[in-house]
Amino acid sequence: MTPLSKKGLGVATFLALAALFVGLTVLANATLKGARLDLTENRLYTLSAGTEHLVGTLKEPLNLYFYFSQKASASAPPLRAYATRVRELLEELAARSGGKLSLHVIDPEPYSEDEDRATEFGLKAVPVGNGGDSIWFGLAATNSTDGRAVIEFFQPQKEEFLEYDVARVIHQLAEPKRKVVGLLTTLPMTGNFDPNGGGARPPWVVEAELAELFDVKTIATTATALPAGLDALLIVQPKGLNPSLSYAIDQYVVGGGHLFLSVDPDAQFDASAEAGGYAGGDKSSTLEPMLAAWGVGFDPHVAFGDLEHALLVGNRAGGDPIRHLGFAGFGPDSLAKRDVITTGLDTLNFGTPGFLVAHVVQGVTFEALVTSGKQSAPIPVERLASGATPEMLRQGFTATGTSYVVAARLAGLFPSAYPGGAPAGIAAQGPHLAKGTTPANVVVVADTDFLSDMLWVRSGGASGQQFLEPWASNGDFVLNAIDNLTGSADLIGIRGRASYSRPFTRVDGLRARADERLRATEVDLERELASTEKKLADLQTHRADRSSLVLTPEQGKELERFQEDRTRIRKQLRSVRRGLDQEIERLGTTLKIVNIAAVPALLSIVTLIVLWVRRRRRRQRAAHA
């Protein structure tokens, strides 16, 4: 037998490797079917436990209609990349739902039935370019009872909350019943009688909006128990509560309830202020002993001022508006960036707010939602209650350099403020809970005035029509919080994820270093150019015949030298740029090798290890049989 030629041996080796690769791929598909390995830095493609449980326990099938304009988005590569991210998430959800989620990907053509259907769902198209084309990029979901929920348009700037937004849509359809919210307040949020005008005052806008979205049940301070079936509890300015009601609130939270609590050191709309001004009574509120038991320190006799975020108010003297330390407006830099309650909000305005201090309580976490700047300092309520003007408040004010927490989220297993059981004289509604066994969520805000219309919405009218114009995000903050708190435990547990957009840090670093070299070379060029021009000017000055346009021999030599230097430096610039391109190309080649060869090889090795482990276990079982 004649030995194979080198060419034949090479072909045979190539065919053998190809057959091995195909065989391992088929084997991996069979043995590792459904297995996924997320190697991204922040596990971007791994669903949270709450989302997996939500889609894995769906009781009825849901349809997801993902609308994205492929053709119209051709000139928007970043949007197309984000659309791929959205589609992959939806596909992952469908794969994890056990057949309960049916995904339909639709590319609506202009003037088509698909476009009409998208409009019926309530999706919105965004115009792009100057050609009049519009991009559809939204999600519509339906259930078997004609229920609908939509995301009108996926905003790339909210990409960190993509999973939460989609899970929220699914949850709305899985639980279509209107959520029940209990409202306990001593402020005129639901409207009251106006003694000056002789008529009825309308409800605060935030209460009206809550009533449109939720089933709001009002709770009197004299009640002895909370209504049954609450999905969330909203307490604003708690004062004079029946002891039995205080105990019921404690047990509600310890039992895994969800609470939005608003307390205040100086509530501008407290009924006692209307009765007799600042001297009419104490306008502070707190919720003790519960706050202390939950690890929240709050002094109802101390507010704070923030020089950096103080709001402008009218000047009584008729001059320009001045900043009032008692009122603060906090923008995005002061809001938690990884919490769904504060995402996308613009400004939150507060009036004479207090501040919260975190204390360690086992099993309960404390996360700040709104934080002041460091140009802040405490202000005793007495100074505010004395009718101090903005100028007076500024006198003697010295910032502490500390940031103060205005709002926070508490989560975990809460201990009871009544560890020994129900207080004497109070009839418990059920078994006493000394320590929670079901996670609860509590949002605490050290201000009540931010809920009033005065600090976030103004009314107007035109052509006989009345309208409301929000000028701050206070209402959205409350609605976001209640919406989040009334969701399932799975939905509440989902937090903002890291962005999928990954910058080319290595490439950016290469470009930055090259730019430094380029700038240095350009500076040298400009310096030599200036020096040469100066020498030319000096030569021109010492010439005998200054009217002549002909260069002297000395000038000609200087000009030639400059032209040579300029040519040399330009070559250096081109060399630097070529070097940059070569470095980037080498980096790209390395990445291609890793993606094309290294990753498949790694998967093949993993497959072989899995097979070896399985065979070893079978042999061990056979040996013991």
**121-130 burial, b if ≥16 CB within 10 A, otherwise e?**
bebebbebee
Helix (H, G, I), strand (E, B) or coil at 598: helix
Please report how many Cα atoms fall inside a 13 Å half-sphere around the Cα of residue 214, on the Cβ side.
28
Q: DSSP H helical segments within 472-552, as ranges?
A: 474-485, 489-492, 505-541
Per-residue pLDDT at 38: 54
Looking at the DSSP assignment, which residues form a beta bridge with residue 215?
180
pLDDT band with cut points at 50, 70 and 90 for residue 487: confident
Q: Does domain 49-173 have CATH number 3.40.30.10?
A: yes
pLDDT tens for 220-254 read 999 999 999 999 999 999 999 999 999 999 999 99
**Residue-averaged pLDDT of the chain:** 81
**What percent of the chain is predicted at pLDDT more than 70?**
71
Rg of the chain over Cα atoms, rounded to whole angstroms, equals: 34
Contacts of 463 (CB under 8 A, 6+ apart): none
| Selection from 41-45, 184-188, 341-345, 459-463 with the highest mean pLDDT | 184-188
| Selection from 343-347, 478-482, 592-596 with the highest mean pLDDT | 478-482
Cβ(272)–Cβ(237) below 8 Å: no
Looking at the DSSP assignment, which residues form a beta bridge with residue 261?
235, 444
- What's the residue count for the chain? 625
507 has a pLDDT exceeding 80: no
- Of the chain, the end-to-end C-alpha distance in Å amounts to 49
Distance CA 50, CA 513 (A): 44
- Alpha carbon separation from 78 to 134, 500, 588 (Å, rounded): 16, 11, 20
Per-residue pLDDT at 498: 47
pLDDT tens for 370-415 read 999 999 999 999 888 766 788 888 888 999 999 999 999 999 999 9
- Alpha carbon separation from 30 to 26, 131, 536 (Å, rounded): 6, 49, 80
pLDDT tens for 270-321 read 875 454 444 457 899 999 999 999 999 999 999 999 999 999 887 665 566 7
pLDDT tens for 569-582 read 666 656 655 555 56
* HEC string for 241-281: CCHHHHHHHHHHHHCCCEEEEECECCCCCCHHHHHHHHHHC
Per-residue pLDDT at 575: 65
Distance CA 32, CA 614 (A): 13
**What percent of the chain is predicted at pLDDT more than 90?**
44
| Percent of the chain as helix, strand, coil, to the nearest 5 | 40, 20, 40
- Residue 150 has which token pair? 């939509």
Per-residue pLDDT at 462: 47
Higher pLDDT: 410 or 24? It is 410
Helix (H, G, I), strand (E, B) or coil at 476: helix
Sign for the CA dihedral angle at 465, 466, 470, 474 comes to negative
The mean pLDDT value for 197-217 works out to: 85
**Which among 309, 297, 373, 371 has a CA at the least distance from the CA of 336?**
371
Higher pLDDT: 550 or 485? It is 485
Distance CA 293, CA 289 (A): 6
For the chain, the maximum distance between any two Cα atoms, rounded to a whole number of angstroms, is 116
Higher pLDDT: 429 or 7? It is 429
- Segments making up each domain of the chain, as ranges: 49-173, 177-299+351-372+402-492
Between strands 364-371 and 405-412, the pairing is antiparallel
Distance CA 349, CA 451 (A): 9
**Which among 67, 72, 137 has a CA at the least distance from the CA of 103?**
67
37 has a pLDDT exceeding 90: no
Phi first, then psi, for residue 14 (nearest 5°) are -60, -45
